[in-house]
């Protein structure tokens, strides 16, 4: 068969074709890097470490590094497994705009939900990402970033809770969700109750006084972080929470979603959906929470890229306990567009391998596998975020 033959390879099933064409909804993603990247900078952006890379090693010698050389190199016109030097030379020759276009359009993602709270000046915003990828993009707003903006604008402590509510409402007029990084700033071992007005104002007073002296507005006080969470719940949009694996700011031992159990019970009457992001290595715990609480959903986003050729196992494990209507796809890609492309490719591949195994064993029908693939990859996100019918 010639390489131009449009027919699928022999042995291709309906499930293979459906998975390849699935217009995934990446329900938690960030923008792609807009500038040129030298090797040192590129390598710092394909690891969750924020430390200098030791001289004795390269990030290309990792699961993610090998995945980039295997799956992204052909998209940029190189043979699979091109060397890091060949890869970066080709990347530089194409330029950042063309690299972004090639990798984003080849991913097969049909819609992006873009969280804009982290270093937005370095990456494509939602409108820019939509233009490059030629797919719709919607904004997800980070509540801590809004609180920090309110504080930096010059406010009285007594006004902070009200102004946070007002600014969150204003900034989410066209957004589809809110996100919190309380896992980074404190961890999940917090008092699950909403803070009282007095508690919030006292904490705001301490924070504003300190910020006035230092000029730094990074919110870490657990009372104010709880204020952010409960203000987001009051807003009523789906609430995303970073869970588990991340950069060294995360106290991973305090990022187990089981620590959220009491808080989730208090949130349940509000009707707000809570989406647990990434969850590795606590993805089984997240699956349990998604099973027992009707308002809890989860994904294994960030872990997929970084586990590379082992991501199949991670994805299969995520399918063990939770109802399939409670699992979503995300890449959590930020920076190099390789992460956007691989997040989709590895997820599609891992989901397909799990489903095909069960179909071949007679455990599932192919029809059911197709239905579940579309639920997890597309339909669950459209339902949770109210995107059905939106362009």
pLDDT tens digits, one per residue of 151-190:
999 999 999 999 999 999 999 999 999 999 999 999 999 9
Residues 6+ positions from 129 with CB-CB distance below 8 Å: 31, 32, 104, 112, 114, 137
Give the pLDDT confidence score for residue 301 in this predicted structure: 96
pLDDT at 390: 57
Q: What is the pLDDT of residues 199-258, one digit of tens each?
A: 999 999 999 999 999 999 999 999 999 999 999 999 999 999 999 999 999 999 999 999
- Taking the C-alpha atoms of residue 282 and residue 300, their distance in angstroms, rounded to an integer, is 9
Per-residue pLDDT of the chain (391 residues; tens, 9 = 90+): 334 455 556 667 889 899 999 999 999 999 999 999 999 999 999 999 999 999 999 999 999 999 999 999 999 999 999 999 999 999 999 999 999 999 999 999 999 999 999 988 899 999 999 999 999 999 999 999 999 999 999 999 999 999 999 999 999 999 999 999 999 999 999 999 999 999 999 999 999 999 999 999 999 999 999 999 999 999 999 999 999 999 999 999 999 999 999 999 999 999 999 999 999 999 999 999 999 999 999 999 999 999 999 999 999 999 999 999 999 999 999 999 999 999 999 999 999 999 999 999 999 999 999 999 999 999 999 999 999 865 5
Please tell me the pTM assigned to this model.
0.95
Tokens of 137: 């993009």
Give me the helices (H) in 259-336, please. Answer: 261-267, 283-292, 301-307, 311-318
**In the prediction, which pLDDT does 14 show?**
86
The per-residue pLDDT for 1 is 35
**C-alpha–C-alpha distance, residues 165 and 176, integer Å:** 16
- Quick one: pLDDT at residue 2? 39
Give the Cα separation of 142 and 180 in Å (integer): 6
- All structural domains of the chain, each given as residue ranges with its CATH number in brackets, are 14-36+96-384 (3.20.20.140), 38-94 (no CATH)
In contact, 344 and 311? CB cutoff 8 Å: no
């Amino acid at each position: 068969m010639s390489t131009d033959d449009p027919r699928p390879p022999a042995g291709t099933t309906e499930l293979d074709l459906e998975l390849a064409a699935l217009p995934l909804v990446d329900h938690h993603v960030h923008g792609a890097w807009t500038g040129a990247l030298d090797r040192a900078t590129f390598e710092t952006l394909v690891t969750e470490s924020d430390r200098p890379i030791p001289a004795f090693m390269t990030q290309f010698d990792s699961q993610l590094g090998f995945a980039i050389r295997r799956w992204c190199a052909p998209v940029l016109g190189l043979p699979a497994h091109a060397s890091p030097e060949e890869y970066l030379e080709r990347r530089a020759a194409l330029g950042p705009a063309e690299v972004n276009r090639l990798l984003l359009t080849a991913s097969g993602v049909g819609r992006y939900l873009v969280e804009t709270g982290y270093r937005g000046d370095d990456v494509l915003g939602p409108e820019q990402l939509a233009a490059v990828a030629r797919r719709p993009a919607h904004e997800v707003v980070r509540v801590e970033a809004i609180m920090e903006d309110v504080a930096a604008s010059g406010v009285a402590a007594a006004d902070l809770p009200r102004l946070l509510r007002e600014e969150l409402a204003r900034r989410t007029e066209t957004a589809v969700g809110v996100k919190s990084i309380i896992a980074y700033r404190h961890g999940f071992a917090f008092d699950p109750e909403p803070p009282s007005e007095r508690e919030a104002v006292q904490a705001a007073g301490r924070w504003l006084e300190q910020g006035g002296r230092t000029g730094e507005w990074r919110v870490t006080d657990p009372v104010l972080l709880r204020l952010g969470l409960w203000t987001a719940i009051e807003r009523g949009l789906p609430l995303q929470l970073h869970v588990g694996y991340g950069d060294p700011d995360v106290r991973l031992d305090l990022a187990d979603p089981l620590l959220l159990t009491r808080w989730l019970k208090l949130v349940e009457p509000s009707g707000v959906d809570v989406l647990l992001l990434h969850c590795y290595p606590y993805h089984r715990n997240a699956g349990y929470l998604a099973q027992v609480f009707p308002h809890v959903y989860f994904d294994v986003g960030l872990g997929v890229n970084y586990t590379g050729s082992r991501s199949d196992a991670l994805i299969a494990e995520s399918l063990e306990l939770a109802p399939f209507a409670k699992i979503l796809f995300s890449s959590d890609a930020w920076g190099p567009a390789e992460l956007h492309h691989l997040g989709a490719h590895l997820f599609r591949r891992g989901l397909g391998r799990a489903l095909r195994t069960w179909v071949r064993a007679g455990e599932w029908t192919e029809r059911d596998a197709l239905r579940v693939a579309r639920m997890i990859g597309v339909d669950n996100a459209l339902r949770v975020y109210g995107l059905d019918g939106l362009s």
